[in-house]
Structure 1
Amino acid sequence: MTSQNHQVAELALDKIIVAAQVRETFDEPGIVSLAENIRKHGLIHPIHVHQDGEGFRLVAGERRFRAVKLLGHKTILATVAGGTIAEEDVVEKMLSENVNREDLNPIELAKGIKQLKELSGETASAAAARLGLSNKMVSELLSLLSLPENIQTDIKTGKIPVSLAAELARVSNPIEQAELAAKVVAGQMTRDTLVRRRKVRRQVDQHFSQPAPLSRAVAVLGKGESVSVTATELDLERFLELLERLVSKAKKMRPRGVSLPTLLRLLRDEAKA
């Protein structure tokens, strides 16, 4: 729950608390360049802080804070929020500012989204809506966190693009995953090649292995009303994901006047394709 009022003030740098931020790495040459720009033109955009007792917690603007500190200044212009602020709202503000400016690397963004989900108790889809991102993008970003640290490092430095990294996250064999990642870094593997290779491997595995057991969950909504979902490895997150996909597809069909039997037939045909 958040309740705030705002004012702009000149604050002493030593009164500002720089707690853990969603950004993990900073481009030092970029900070130096920003400091030089501030020296010439002044600080155009105030940093954002939240009053925390006698101090002020930095919410957004750590690059500007570092640059001003580098210049030897003792104070900085800040937009100060008073009142109460929920921790998930702090994380959302940090993420939103950096998403809009494309300042975070994919791993930092993924960790921030994961933190927002955990703090708010929301689904990935709800977190995506709060940040103005697509469900697909958020799903791909979160999948990166399942990758080994060395592959995550290559993602941070831009050696492996997010689209390719998301495909690597779908490779279950760690040895094969490492080999494919090395080929991506070396420029020997495109996303299309990786997708084709993964599909071929999945078809071979399916041919020689038993199908994964299905789970079924029935949610009773009222007298004579229930929703049934069947899938492999069914948990709450998967259950919500499938329901959200169904609702999304049904809403797209509704303006066309499609009946329920027709919708179900179209979904069956799409699944077979």
Structure 2
Amino acid sequence: MMAADEGKRRASLGRGLSALLGDDIAAAAATPTGEDTVDEALSAEALRQSKTIPIEFLKPNPDQPRKRFDDSAIDGLVNSIQEKGILQPILVRQHPSEPNAYEIVAGERRWRAAQRAQLHEVPVIVKDLSDSDTLELALIENIHREDLTPLEEAEGYQRLIDEFQHTQEALAKVLGKSRSHIANSMRLLGLSDEIKSMLDDGLLSAGHGRALIGVPNAEELAHEVIARGLNVRQTEQLAQEGKKGDKKALKKIGKKLNRDPNVEALEQSLSNNLGMKVQIASKGEKGKLTIQYENLDQLDDIIERLNEEMGATGNVVEM
């Protein structure tokens, strides 16, 4: 029996989210790509199959994978609902412990927006779903929507693998993502709580987080990345030196990353014009200009250019 249940579960995952919603809605909402989300499945056809219930009868799912809701995004949804109403019904099931209530499976953002829009009733589709199906559907739908934080996404993958025995390959196929994306996302779970908090707060991106994995002084570097506004490439450079444990090299690259972009642009411009590497070391109004030549011909070229500029004054540079 357990083997049969597992086979059924894998078949459902293989057919996509619509398998849990029923063939009638799935057929009505089929898309050319076959990559339906719950919102796509709850289409205009599904809306005709829905019923309207008082908004206070709905309760949020305590296992909702999304922990944070973007107020600005919900405000935008409020405006849409006030103008056009709710175009897609909310997927619910009978509440497991409250007889006259329903638990939201998919569509909590719409429910929150409908409350702000002061709607008294909302359209819903009621499905007979187990605790397991409810959690699985909520996880997959939220990942499909691609508006989770990097950590919420990683935790969603981990739960689908741990609690439902799905493989990374199966998830990649259903969710339309590469296996490497899923694997790299899950690596973020190995970061410290402090850096995870920075990810959740949007101070660091997933790329920043991956660059800091396995670095001994990751928290220190993370603060440096945020303070200097470093991009992912710069963070990777910083982390590389951090892994080596070379404090002098770390300090050196830190200074380099903190340079004035105007000085870097001038360096690049001079290098392009001369065809040689130019370095500018500045401190306040003072500094040093270094031109690196590869051979004596390049040195002759530099001297010739200087002489052309200085010839009018009678000053000549000689080797």
Matches within 5 A, 1:8-27: 8-20=50-62, 21-27=64-70
Please state if 1:70 is matched with 2:116: yes
Whichever residue aligns with residue 24 of structure 1, its letter is: K
**Contact 1:91/1:112 (CA < 8 Å) preserved in 2?**
no
* 1:181, distance to aligned residue in structure 2 (A): 0.9
Aligned counterparts of 1:191 and 1:32: Cα–Cα separation in 2: 31
Please state if 1:33 is matched with 2:76: yes
Which structure has the larger Rg?
Answer: 2
Matched positions, count: 200
Structure 1 partner of 2:227: 186
**Contact 2:144/2:175 (CA < 8 Å) preserved in 1?**
no
Please state if 1:101 is matched with 2:145: yes
Aligned counterparts of 2:94 and 2:21: Cα–Cα separation in 1: 10
Structure 1: give runs of 5+ residues left out of the alignment. Answer: 206-273
**Contact 2:92/2:104 (CA < 8 Å) preserved in 1?**
yes
* 1:110-155 deviations in Å (ceiling 9; x for gaps): 1222222221023334333332222222122212222223322221
Please state if 1:61 is matched with 2:100: no
Please state if 1:50 is matched with 2:93: yes
**Contact 2:194/2:219 (CA < 8 Å) preserved in 1?**
no
Aligned counterparts of 2:71 and 2:195: Cα–Cα separation in 1: 23
Secondary structure in structure 1 of the residue aligned to 2:203: coil
**Contact 1:48/1:59 (CA < 8 Å) preserved in 2?**
yes
Aligned counterparts of 2:213 and 2:169: Cα–Cα separation in 1: 19
Matches within 5 A, 1:105-144: 105-144=149-188
Aligned counterparts of 1:204 and 1:33: Cα–Cα separation in 2: 48
* 1:63, distance to aligned residue in structure 2 (A): 1.0
Aligned counterparts of 1:30 and 1:183: Cα–Cα separation in 2: 30
Structure 2: give runs of 5+ residues left out of the alignment. Answer: 10-19, 26-48, 247-319
* 1:198, distance to aligned residue in structure 2 (A): 4.7
Per chain length, whose mean CA-contact separation is higher, i.e. which structure has more relative contact order (CA < 8 Å, sep 6+)?
1
Aligned counterparts of 2:204 and 2:87: Cα–Cα separation in 1: 35
**Contact 2:93/2:127 (CA < 8 Å) preserved in 1?**
yes
**Contact 1:47/1:79 (CA < 8 Å) preserved in 2?**
yes
Secondary structure in structure 1 of the residue aligned to 2:212: helix
**Contact 2:150/2:185 (CA < 8 Å) preserved in 1?**
yes
Q: Which stretch shifts more, 1-10 or 23-32? A: 1-10
Aligned counterparts of 1:25 and 1:188: Cα–Cα separation in 2: 24
Task: Give the direction of change, closer, same or farther, for the CA distance of 1:169–1:201 in structure 2 (3 Å limit).
Answer: closer
Aligned counterparts of 1:151 and 1:71: Cα–Cα separation in 2: 36
* 1:187, distance to aligned residue in structure 2 (A): 3.6
Structure 2 partner of 1:271: none
Task: Give the direction of change, closer, same or farther, for the CA distance of 1:4–1:31 in structure 2 (3 Å limit).
Answer: closer
More strand by share: 1
* 1:38, distance to aligned residue in structure 2 (A): 0.6
Secondary structure in structure 2 of the residue aligned to 1:169: coil
* 1:62-107 deviations in Å (ceiling 9; x for gaps): 111011122332321112222x4462x4334324433343221111
Aligned counterparts of 1:71 and 1:204: Cα–Cα separation in 2: 55
Aligned counterparts of 1:125 and 1:109: Cα–Cα separation in 2: 16
Task: Give the direction of change, closer, same or farther, for the CA distance of 1:203–1:73 in structure 2 (3 Å limit).
Answer: closer
**Contact 1:140/1:162 (CA < 8 Å) preserved in 2?**
no
